[in-house]
Amino acid sequence: MVIQHRRTRASALPDSTFSDKLVRHRVYNSHLLSQEPSIRRTAITGLTEPDNNRYIHHLTISEDITESIVSNGSRSGRKTADDLLEIARRVLKLEGEAIGEVSGRLGEPFLQAVRLLESCRGKVIVTGLGKSGIAAKKIAATLASTGAPALFLHAAEAVHGDMGVISSGDVAVAVSYSGETREVVELIPRFKLLGVPVMAITGNTSSTLAGLADCVLDVAVPSHPWPFGLLPTASHAASVAVGDALAVALLVSDGVQEEDFALLHPGGLLGRKLLVKVSELMHTGEALPVIGPDAGMRQVLMEMTAKRLGVTCVVDEDRHLVGIVTDGDLRRLLERSPNPLELTAEEVMTRNPKSTPPGAISAQALHLMEDHAITSLPVLDEAGTLIGVVHMHDILKLETSS
């Protein structure tokens, strides 16, 4: 690969090479310099010199046409479908490799970052600028979705009044791949004056930002020569992935359960389903399997078979729950008793069974069933009266239905 640099006055270039959108700072365009059988594209950066003469800085990357997927097909025509798919696969492969490299470097700094977030008694302030700012927005959104009180602070806006959102007890997360973004670096001393610890997510552990931060997460990725080193695809993906890893690690460390997650997402499909109350799912009336304590095992078996819930509730004359008989109880009874049909429900039932109130959300009922390895829960009102039964399958149907 040949890399060439040169500088040309803008007025000396053909009109077709100078984009109308070319502005002062690092705005790139492509300019075809040659029709030779090698690809030559130029990254153009517009800068304003002190004398207000605009110059174009060229970075020319030459590759053999057989070595670059971009050079396949006609230069002036559209690429084939196979070319575009191959380009997409290459981008995803490079991003996956970059994330893999960052994963291999995880260690004590990551654990320190998790402990820092765990110690936060206020808000998690995530800041950045440009593409790193977009990554910072995603990190803040992911943290907030797991229950952490996180928000995004635009680095440029912060120094013009938005610093007011920061207070003692907060934790700051600064995202800058270079670690030298002026607006981000200038925020760090201000964070420190407010007693706010700073975590840096950067690809340059020798940068100014890394030197000022209390905790540094290294997201440096391999330098890939394609496509032209202009788009921060792999570095952006690595920053977002580390943010996701932090959020999930914090979620698990804090013991967040599925029902907690549902409460944080009431408008989402998971939230709408798992926030359904038990009273909306329970079996009642003729569908409720119920018998008295003096009922024989033949009656218990018939009731359980008819209602098809794998359980029969045992109640007294006031319909207060006194026990429960499950299909598992019947199997164990057959194993140990020579005359199981001569016994009564009271002799076989499990006393003081687990139960749930009708106002409980389905996620809570499901968690209770999973914790105790059971498939059904009697539903009791405040007086302890049996009013229904909810089965695990009723809740699981919610999760799988559209």
pLDDT tens, position by position, 372-401 = 888 899 999 988 899 999 998 888 777 555
Query: Within this chain, do residues 146 and 205 fall inside the same structural domain, yes or no?
Result: yes
The two structure tokens encoding residue 288: 């409720």
- The answer to whether residue 266 is domain-embedded is no
- Selected residue with higher pLDDT from 256 and 211: 211
Query: Within this chain, do residues 380 and 284 fall inside the same structural domain, yes or no?
Result: yes
269, pLDDT greater than 80: no
Report the range of poorest mean pLDDT among 192-196, 256-260, 356-360.
256-260
pLDDT of residue 46: 35
Average pLDDT over residues 326-355: 85
Query: Within this chain, do residues 115 and 226 fall inside the same structural domain, yes or no?
Result: yes
Strands 321-326, 290-291: parallel, antiparallel or unpaired by DSSP? unpaired
CATH of the domain at 363: 3.10.580.10
pLDDT of residue 51: 37
pLDDT band with cut points at 50, 70 and 90 for residue 27: very low
- The answer to whether residue 226 is domain-embedded is yes
290, pLDDT greater than 60: yes
pLDDT of residue 52: 37
Convert the pLDDT of each residue in 55-68 to its tens digit: 333 333 333 333 44
Give the chain's domain count. Answer: 3
Closest C-alpha among 36, 219, 194 to residue 125: 194
E strand segments, 29-112: 38-48, 54-64
Average pLDDT over residues 165-193: 92
Rounded to 5 degrees, φ, ψ at 117 are -70, -35
| 3 state DSSP class of 2 | strand
d(CA 315, CA 326): 14
pLDDT band with cut points at 50, 70 and 90 for residue 85: very high
Q: Where is mean pLDDT largest: 35-49, 252-266, 329-343, 371-385? A: 371-385
| Residues 155-162: contacts with CB under 8 Å, at least 24 apart | 155/127, 155/128, 155/129, 155/181, 155/183, 155/184, 155/187, 156/129, 156/183, 158/127, 158/183, 158/187, 158/190, 159/183, 159/186, 159/187, 159/190
CATH of the domain at 138: 3.40.50.10490
| Of the residues 256, 290, 322, the one at which a domain ends | 256
pLDDT band with cut points at 50, 70 and 90 for residue 334: confident
Closest C-alpha among 228, 235, 231 to residue 3: 228
- For residues 48-68, b (16+ Cβ closer than 10 Å) or e, as one string? eeeeeeeebebbbbbbeeeeb
- The answer to whether residue 97 is domain-embedded is no
- For residues 94-105, b (16+ Cβ closer than 10 Å) or e, as one string? bbeebbebbeee
Query: Within this chain, do residues 244 and 290 fall inside the same structural domain, yes or no?
Result: no
pLDDT band with cut points at 50, 70 and 90 for residue 270: low
pLDDT of residue 12: 44
| Of the residues 42, 76, 110, the one at which a domain ends | 76
- The answer to whether residue 297 is domain-embedded is yes
343, pLDDT greater than 70: yes
pLDDT of residue 341: 82
The two structure tokens encoding residue 152: 């995004």
Query: Within this chain, do residues 244 and 120 fall inside the same structural domain, yes or no?
Result: yes
Domain boundaries, position 152: 102-256
- The answer to whether residue 38 is domain-embedded is yes
Average pLDDT over residues 317-336: 87
pLDDT of residue 346: 87
Q: Whole-model pTM above 0.75?
A: no
| Of the residues 60, 76, 92, the one at which a domain ends | 76
pLDDT of residue 136: 95
Mean pLDDT computed over every residue of the chain: 77
Closest C-alpha among 274, 240, 234, 242 to residue 257: 274
The two structure tokens encoding residue 249: 């690690």
pLDDT of residue 253: 79
7, pLDDT greater than 50: no
Query: Within this chain, do residues 248 and 286 fall inside the same structural domain, yes or no?
Result: no
pLDDT of residue 328: 84
